[in-house]
Structure formats: C-alpha cells, structure tokens
Structure 1
Amino acid sequence: MPGNEHKVCKLVKSLYGLKQAPKQWYQKFDEVVLSSGFLLNQSDKCVYSKFDDSGKGVIVCLYVDDMLIFGTDKNQVDKTKKFLSSRFSMKDMGEVDVILSIKIKRENKGIVITQSYYIEKIFKKFNREDCSPVSSPIDPVEKLMPNTSKPVDQLEYSRAIGCLMYVMTSTRPNIAYAVVLEAYSDASWINHVEDSSSTSGCVFLLGGGAIS
C-alpha cells in the first residue's frame, strides 16, 4: 500500500494454496491420529491402523484432505469418525462408492475394487475405443512393424502412459510389462563390513527416460 511499503503481513497459520500448507496439514493430521493410538504403515505413510487384541480394528487412508475409513467393526468405525470430527471440520459422505477413480463393489464374499469405467474413460479420451483386447502381460503373436518415421505426439503419449500406470499401480498389476517397458536392477551383495547388509536399487525406463 502507498506509504506502507515497509510493512509485511505475519502469517499466523498456513493458508490453503500456499506451498507449506500441505506439509503443515499432514503434520497436524499425523500428530492427532498417532496420539490416539493409531500406527503408521511403514510402506505407505498415509495409511493408519488400530486393532485390538481380538483382531477388531479400523484403517484410515488419507489422500490430501479426503479420508477413507473402514474396519472390521462398525462401532469402532463410528468411534473413529466421532474422534476425528472432534479434531477437524469434517463432512461424512456416507458409504464409499468411488474413490480416486477406483470403484468399490460390495459382494457376498467381500469387497471387489475395479477401474473398468476409468479404463473406458481413458480409451475415449485418447480415441482408442475401437481397440481389441489382448492377453497380458504381452500378446504372444504380436508382429513388429518397420518404423515409418510417423511423428507421435510425445505429450499425448506420455499422458496415455501415465493414465495406464495409475491403473497398473491401483488394480491392474498384470499390465506392468506392457506399460513399463525397461527395468534394470543391481545390488551391492552384502558388502557392508559391519552388519553384512546389501543395498539394492532399480530404475524403470520409458522411452529412454527414467520414470521410477
């Protein structure tokens, strides 16, 4: 403001949209959930679980500011909802039907997750609705054709592969070979002098570029 150019605003809390907001939100959520007895999943830092000695328990999955809460006992699920509602401003959306483009079906034998409608949306988006299905991981009768040097839209190709990779990591690991084209791995083979541990690593390449 004219005449007040030397003044600055002091931020007393993180604001939605600022760079530090997601980190502050996760730290707050993590602190609250862990303090109530939940355990953090070491493979996925956004999954928390709490089970009692009888095997009854609740699992909470966090995606940005959306939560998926499920468990073996409805009373414990309701109790978890009540606790979280007392600490955060929440809206209960009821039983989940679709989350992160994954459809959840409840059947007599249990729960089935599928992304068929999402896959159909991918086909439509990239004008591949006339594609014929093939067996995975690779079509055994695939015929390689000479390169005609026809230019390919690299951005569109990358987007299509990205969509397929999301399907692969969520519900369709069987298409991994067709989607992730090259992979290399190596290990140090127990060369640590103190605890005889080894270090391994891998890299996945798509179109010559590292993607994982």
Structure 2
Amino acid sequence: MDLPPGFRADGEYAGKVYKLRKSLYGLKQSPRAWFSRFSDVVLSMGFVRCHSDHTCFIRRRSDGRCIMLLVYVDDIIITGDDASGIAQAKLHLQKSFDVKDLGPLRYFLGIEVARSRCGISLSQRKYVLDLLQDSGMLGCRPASTPMDPNLKLSVESGELLPDPSVYQRLVGRLIYLTNTRPDLTFAVSVISQFMHAPRLAYMDAVYHILRYLESCPGLGLFYASGNQSGLSCFTDAEYAGCKIDRRSTSGFCTFYGNHLISWKSKKQAVVSRFSVEAKY
C-alpha cells in the first residue's frame, strides 16, 4: 500500500510502504466472504434464514416470541417481542464483531422512523429533499398528481437525450423511493421502461414526478399501534395501455388489517386478447 501523493515521510519511514496481511475492501469476493462469516455467527445463535429474503434471519421461541434480524452490508436491524433474547443476541454479536448499538431505530438507509403512542411512521423526507436539491427542482412549481393520466409514451416521444446517465440516475433514485411511497409505484414503473434509450418526453415525465414530490415530500406509511387481524388484497389491471407493445399493466396492494404491507405495479409478460384476460 503506497503512501498518498504529496505525502513525505522523514526519518526511518522514508521510502517505506505498508504491507497488508489481509485485505477486505476492494476485493470482488469480499461481500460474499463477509456475509458468509456473518451468517455462520447468526445461524449458530439459533436463527433461521428467511426463504424469501436471505438477508433476514428469524428466531422463534417455544412460547411464540420471535426475534427478526435484518442486515444490509454492515447495517443491522434487530426487532421482535423477545426483549431478553434481543439483549442476548446483541452480546453475542459483540463477541464476534466490533458493533455499536445505536439504540431505537430512527434512520436506516434513507428511511426515517418516527414513533408515538399512536404508532410508527415510515417516510423518506430527507431523501426526497436531497433528490430535489441535487436535481435543481427544490422550490419548483408543485404538481397535484405523479403523472398526467392522459400521458401515453412511445418509442419516438421526442429526441434522444445527449446524456442518458442523468435520466437513469434519477429513475434509479425514484425506484428506491417507492419503498415508502406506494403513490409513485405506477408512475415510476412507466418511466423505468425506457432506461436504455431515454428521450425528452420521458425526462419531462420524470420532472413531473419531482414536481409532485415538491408538494408532499413527507408522505409515507403509518402503522397504528394495537392488534391487527385479517389479510386482504386488492388488484386491478388496465387493458393494452402500452402503445409500444399493447401489453397491459397489473397492480396490487396487500393489507394486514389496516396496514399496507406490499404493493406493486408491473407490465404483464404477454399480450392479453381482451380485458377480462388482462384482469384475470
């Protein structure tokens, strides 16, 4: 490991370099090696890997209490109704890794968590304001809807953008914003279909979404306190809405009690011959 340019070492350290015995950052296999090591430690604590998400680990007790552990690189969330088990899990992790307990969850990967007696609120307000600031849309004229309902984009809607990376970067950040903004799901799914060759009309649709975010940067999800019961799902589809390939778009949202837990808007894989088939 060479010294940085411009740094001069005098005395016994002149002309010398550091030799690393082990390197982690910058290696292609480092994420796999780190997660393998972390998984071994967590599984030895009695946790079971979730089948739908391999970064989520669950441990259940005989009395019904459970602990859930979610990891993203080196950021970890531990939650559940087993307070003593959570404390033991933290102590076990401290023996194997150099960890720091940040207390109750308030901010995680751009998602803000606010608690009250009424429940828990999830939002990405700071993420939205940073997005508007970086795109130069902070303080712009707000819009009342994420997308014009009469807008129909095609492969020839305007000229090609000279620098497609700007469009791709904005759409990528909007996709992450849909984690707490179900109202943006359909609009973002439409503009994300033109990442390979964006045009001026597509960029106008992105700016329309940013103008909508200017009007409501703090919207998010709210989960009320108290017991919830009952699983319900609502789904719908529009028929042949895409002018390019005549495919339909499906959408659904799932509620556990009054809490929204999953949602999606996606173009169907095949062309439906009539509206009943698209909805089915």
Fold shared by both chains (TM-score > 0.5) = yes
- 2:248 equivalent to 1:164: no
- Aligned counterpart, 1:39: 48
Distance in 1, Cα, partners of 2:86 & 2:51: 22
- Aligned counterpart, 2:102: 93
Output one character per residue of 1:92-151: Cα deviation in whole Å (capped at 9) or x when no partner.
Answer: 222221110000111213322111221121111111221423335x4336598x956484
- Aligned counterpart, 1:103: 112
**Does the C-alpha gap of structure 1 residues 152 and 17 become closer, same or farther in structure 2, counting only changes over 3 Å?**
closer
Output one character per residue of 1:78-104: Cα deviation in whole Å (capped at 9) or x when no partner.
Answer: 111011111212122222211100001
- 2:24 equivalent to 1:15: yes
- Which segments of 5 or more consecutive residues in structure 1 lack a partner in the other structure? 1-10, 187-212
Identity rate of aligned residues, in percent? 32
Distance in 2, Cα, partners of 1:33 & 1:127: 44
Tell whether the 8 Å contact from 2:45 to 2:89 is kept in structure 1 after alignment.
no
Which of 179, 185, 194 matches 2:269?
Answer: 185
- 2:217 equivalent to 1:133: no
**Does the C-alpha gap of structure 1 residues 32 and 151 become closer, same or farther in structure 2, counting only changes over 3 Å?**
closer
1:21-60 matches, within 5 Å, as 21-60=30-69
Q: Comparing both chains, which one has the higher relative contact order based on Cα–Cα distances under 8 Å and sequence gaps of 6 or more?
A: 2
- State TM-score, norm by structure 2: 0.55
Distance in 2, Cα, partners of 1:36 & 1:13: 27
Tell whether the 8 Å contact from 1:58 to 1:71 is kept in structure 2 after alignment.
yes
Secondary structure, aligned partner of 2:87: helix
Shift of 1:152: 5.5
Distance in 1, Cα, partners of 2:76 & 2:157: 47
Distance in 2, Cα, partners of 1:171 & 1:23: 29
Tell whether the 8 Å contact from 1:14 to 1:24 is kept in structure 2 after alignment.
no
Tell whether the 8 Å contact from 2:66 to 2:80 is kept in structure 1 after alignment.
yes
**Does the C-alpha gap of structure 1 residues 152 and 127 become closer, same or farther in structure 2, counting only changes over 3 Å?**
farther
Output one character per residue of 1:31-50: Cα deviation in whole Å (capped at 9) or x when no partner.
Answer: 11112211111111111111
Task: Name whichever of 172-181 and 77-86 sits farther off.
Answer: 172-181
Which aligned segments of 4 or more residues in structure 1 are displaced greater than 4 angstroms? 11-14, 141-144
Instruction: Give the length in aligned residue pairs.
Output: 174
Tell whether the 8 Å contact from 1:14 to 1:20 is kept in structure 2 after alignment.
no
Output one character per residue of 1:21-67: Cα deviation in whole Å (capped at 9) or x when no partner.
Answer: 11111011111111221111111111111121333221111111121
Tell whether the 8 Å contact from 1:115 to 1:171 is kept in structure 2 after alignment.
yes
- Which segments of 5 or more consecutive residues in structure 2 lack a partner in the other structure? 1-19, 194-266, 271-280
**Does the C-alpha gap of structure 1 residues 12 and 43 become closer, same or farther in structure 2, counting only changes over 3 Å?**
farther
Distance in 2, Cα, partners of 1:71 & 1:176: 29
Distance in 2, Cα, partners of 1:90 & 1:147: 51
- 2:208 equivalent to 1:124: no
